[in-house]
Amino acid sequence: MTPHAEHHGHDAHHGHADDGHAHGTLGSYMIGFVLSVILTVIPFWLVMDGTILDKNMTAIAIMALAAVQVVVHMIFFLHMNGRAEGGWTMLSLIFTIIVVVIMLAGSLWVMYHLNTNMMPMHDPSQLP
C-alpha cells in the first residue's frame, strides 16, 4: 500500500460530516441563540424592574439562570452529549457543572464575608 492510500484509508474511518457526531444545524444554532438571549434578558429585567423584592432571591434566580445558560451553551454550541466521542463530552459536561458550582459557591462565600468583615458600621452617637 502506498503512503497516500494508507492515509486515505485512515481518513475513511474518521470522516468529518457523516461519522455520527452531532454537528449543529442552523436550526439548532438559532434555538441556542434564542435561549441564550432569553436567559440573558431575564436577569437584566429582574434587576432593573425590581420584580423580586428580596435581594437574596434575586441573586439565587440570577445564578440559576446563569447555570442554565452555561448548559445551553455546552449543548447547542459545543455539541456536548452522551453519544459523541465515547461519552467524553458527557464527562466534560459533568466537570464543567462541578467547576461552575464551585465558582458560584466560592464567589458568594467570598462576597458575603467581605461584606460582613469589611469596615463595620459604627453608630454615630457613640463617636468621641
- Range 71-74, long-range pairs (CB < 8 A, 24+ positions): 71/97, 72/32, 72/35, 72/36, 72/39, 73/32, 73/36
Residue 122 included in any domain: no
Residue 68 included in any domain: yes
Q: CA distances (Å), 77 to each of 8, 17, 64, 113, in order?
A: 30, 17, 20, 36
Q: What average pLDDT does range 49-69 have in this prediction?
A: 89
Which has more pLDDT, 70 or 3?
70
What's the pTM? 0.59
Q: What average pLDDT does range 51-76 have in this prediction?
A: 88
Contact 74, 96 (CB under 8 A): yes
Q: What average pLDDT does range 28-57 have in this prediction?
A: 92
Q: Look up the domain containing 31 and give its range.
A: 24-116
Residue 99 included in any domain: yes
- Model pLDDT, residue 16: 47
Which has more pLDDT, 81 or 111?
111
Residue 87 included in any domain: yes
Residue 102 included in any domain: yes
Number of domains observed in the structure of the chain: 1
